[in-house]
Amino acid sequence: MNGPATHADLYQAARRSIPRFLFDYVQGGSFDELTLARNRAALEAVKLRQRVLTAIGDIDMSTALFGQTLAMPFMLAPIGMAGMLSRRGEVQAVRAARAQGVPFILSTASVCAIDEVSATGIPFWFQLYMAKDRGFVIDLLGRAKDAGCPVLVMTVDLPLPGPRYRDQRSGLSGPASLWGQWIRWRSIFAHPGWAVNVGLRGRPHALGNVAPLMNGRVRLKDFLRWSGQNFDPSVSWKDLEFLRAHWPGPMVIKGILDVEDAKIAADIGAEGIVVSNHGGRQLDGAPGTAQALPDIAAAVGDRLTVLADGGVQGGLDIIRMLGLGAKGVLAGRAWAYALAAGGEAGVAAMLSRVAAELRTGMALTGCKTIGDIGPQVLAES
Ligand SMILES: Cc1cc2nc3c(=O)[nH]c(=O)nc-3n(C[C@H](O)[C@H](O)[C@H](O)COP(=O)(O)O)c2cc1C
């Protein structure tokens, strides 16, 4: 049998490759997972307008974002604990992203610390969470600056972690009963490839950037507990102004879903926003991002760079989001599944597929360049 070809194949391959509690962690959303489903449904509802005989010729998929030239308007979204999906997963992902000419965004909650990823010599963007300990935040900012990260992505939709009931069920968060621990170990033994590749050879399993704050306790559930206690629900726009002042480069605010918030982001001088609901992992009941995007892009698209994520699985989804007003698109689970299924090569293959799909989609919507993709690619519903 050949390797995974589509997003659905990667989903299945990831499911086979990693223990169930990790797969559930990646796949799941918060509460009843309504918004998680809405993200995909909202994108699928966007119809594309087919154009033919447009003498399209060569297609240029490159784009400029925040002073960088990207091979296509696509980014690997920050994913916490990616290094648990494949050995030193963030390092593998940054290599794959570089090979395909797109940015990798390193999460605050990564397994590989900023220093380990920057030792590859590959530039990457850094995603920051606001912790109660502002000294820690400033220190992380300094480390990202020293590592030469060109763009800071400040995630603002996680003042408290949304309840992820799959993680409670699997014992990843909350107290694990003896039965729960047995299920987990059984799942690990059922995936000997993962147990050797990540469980044994992928150590340390610390969350590199936050381990120093966790008093040497490094298990995943310790992180989930730490994040519940240390993410700061009192964070406000004032804190973002403060960060703005400490970060010399472009700052992108991730987790905007409302026009009013988008306007404030522009007012405080952010260079970009990501229209995002954290992949349906925070406020369940919020709209799918493809629903929220058009109004936000219309309100602030001339003042800052609007990016979007949520439910993106392939190249046609990039065209949909750009048609709705985004200038670039992030994907989370798409690369997490690819990493779990095939490591660096898996992520590189996923990116090649996305690029090939984007090219075909551009040809069939009559777009020669990324700048040509606008509302005209959308069919009336
Ligand atoms: C397993 C997982 C972990 C995530 N960790 C982070 C994180 O550490 N920081 C962050 O800003 N967003 C995080 N996100 C949200 C993603 O960056 C992104 O917004 C989301 O995955 C987009 O939806 P998609 O998975 O449907 O592409 C995470 C998402 C998933 C699925």
Segment 46-101, tens digit of pLDDT: 999 999 999 899 999 999 999 999 999 999 999 999 999 999 999 999 999 999 99
The overall average pLDDT reported for the chain is 93
Range in 52-61, 168-177, 196-205 the model is least confident about: 168-177
Atom of ligand 1 nearest to the CA of 313: 27
- The answer as to whether 376 is a domain residue is no
Q: Which residues line ligand 1 (CB under 6 A)?
A: 25-26, 39, 77-80, 107, 109, 127, 155, 254, 276, 278-279, 281, 309-312, 331-334, 336
- The answer as to whether 373 is a domain residue is no
Q: How many residues does the chain have?
A: 381
CA of 376 to the centre of ligand 1 (A): 30
Region 124-139: mean pLDDT is 90
Closest by CA position to 138, among listed 25, 252, 239, 35: 239
pTM to 2 decimal places: 0.97
Instruction: Note whether 152 and 250 are within 8 A (CB).
Output: yes
Domain hosting 49: range is: 7-367
Predicted confidence (pLDDT) at residue 138 exceeds the cutoff of 80: yes
Closest by CA position to 320, among listed 269, 278, 354: 354
> On the CB side of 93, how many CA atoms lie within 13 Å of its CA?
37
Query: How sure is the predictor about 1, in pLDDT bands with cuts at 50, 70 and 90?
Result: low
Rounded Cα distance between 333 and 348, Å, is: 14
Query: How sure is the predictor about 282, in pLDDT bands with cuts at 50, 70 and 90?
Result: very high
Query: How sure is the predictor about 360, in pLDDT bands with cuts at 50, 70 and 90?
Result: very high
Higher per-residue pLDDT: 86 or 217: 86
Range in 33-37, 177-181, 236-240, 325-329 the model is least confident about: 177-181
Percent of the chain's residues with pLDDT above 70:
96
What's phi and psi for 5, nearest 5 deg? -110, -40
Active site residue 278: yes
Closest C-alpha to ligand 1, atom 21: 332
Query: How sure is the predictor about 235, in pLDDT bands with cuts at 50, 70 and 90?
Result: confident
Predicted confidence (pLDDT) at residue 305 exceeds the cutoff of 70: yes
Query: How sure is the predictor about 289, in pLDDT bands with cuts at 50, 70 and 90?
Result: very high
Percent of the chain's residues with pLDDT above 90:
78
Query: How sure is the predictor about 267, in pLDDT bands with cuts at 50, 70 and 90?
Result: very high
- The answer as to whether 378 is a domain residue is no
CA of 59 to the centre of ligand 1 (A): 30
Q: Return the CA Rg of the chain.
A: 20
- The answer as to whether 342 is a domain residue is yes
pLDDT of residue 215: 67
Query: How sure is the predictor about 221, in pLDDT bands with cuts at 50, 70 and 90?
Result: low
Atom of ligand 1 nearest to the CA of 277: 19
- The answer as to whether 234 is a domain residue is yes
Which is it for strands 105-106 and 125-128: parallel, antiparallel or unpaired? parallel
Higher per-residue pLDDT: 349 or 169: 349
- The answer as to whether 375 is a domain residue is no
pLDDT of residue 49: 98
Closest C-alpha to ligand 1, atom 19: 278
Higher per-residue pLDDT: 311 or 204: 311
pLDDT of residue 313: 98
- CATH number for the domain spanning 79: value is 3.20.20.70
pLDDT of residue 216: 61
Provide the edge-to-edge strand list for the sheet that holds 251-256: 74-76, 328-331, 305-309, 272-275, 251-256, 152-155, 125-128, 105-106
How far apart are the two ends of the chain, measured CA to CA in Å? 39
Q: Which of 191, 205, 246, 278 is catalytic?
A: 278
Higher per-residue pLDDT: 217 or 79: 79
Closest by CA position to 191, among listed 13, 7, 2: 13
The domain tally of the chain equals: 1
Predicted confidence (pLDDT) at residue 173 exceeds the cutoff of 80: no
Predicted confidence (pLDDT) at residue 162 exceeds the cutoff of 80: yes
Query: How sure is the predictor about 212, in pLDDT bands with cuts at 50, 70 and 90?
Result: confident
pLDDT of residue 135: 85
